[in-house]
Amino acid sequence: MAYDGLFTSMTTSKHWSTRQPRAAIGHLYVVEFDSGWVKVGQTITWARRRKELAADFDVLYGWEIVRDWQSNLVSTLRLEDTPRSELCDLEIRLKDFARQTQDVSVFSDQLPNRGRRICGAGETETFRGCSFGDLVAYADVLARFSSPLRK
């Protein structure tokens, strides 16, 4: 049987939307910089994203990554009647958790003349005053117990 013939009869569950992102899986991540700031986010390509973060934050702010973590694989597919993927929802919950820390600073709020609507990439996902370990623990629980891909 030809390679293409192996997959022509496959169908998706009727519960999944036909809108497909670039990849069906991704990761949450937490990165700590030597400055004490911690960045959280999501990616479908962790190795590339880590390199981008290392380069971007070094060039812009002179920060180096001292610790990083990535979650197990999480679905990026959207269920019907939901505006976001599961991975996106988990990232929002992780950022909300970080903002709940007492005396937390959000990076974009610390820059003069820059508000949330005009901040640079990732600046609303970068926090000071949050524990790297607490963010990793919370993100790990979210990813492990929310993902349909868990074993």
In a domain, 7, yes or no: no
Range of the structural domain that residue 102 is part of: 18-146
Q: Give how many domains the chain has, as a whole number.
A: 1
On whether residue 12 sits in a domain, the answer given is: no
**Residue 151, in any domain of the structure:** no
pTM of the model: 0.74
Residue 8 within a domain: no
Domain assignment present for 106: yes
The answer to whether residue 49 is domain-embedded is yes
Question: Which tokens go with 97?
Answer: 């958790």
For residue range 102-113, what is the model confidence (pLDDT) as tens digits? 888 887 644 544
Distance CA 95, CA 106 (A): 10
Query: Once rounded to an integer, what is the mean pLDDT over residues 54-60?
Result: 92
pLDDT at 79: 64
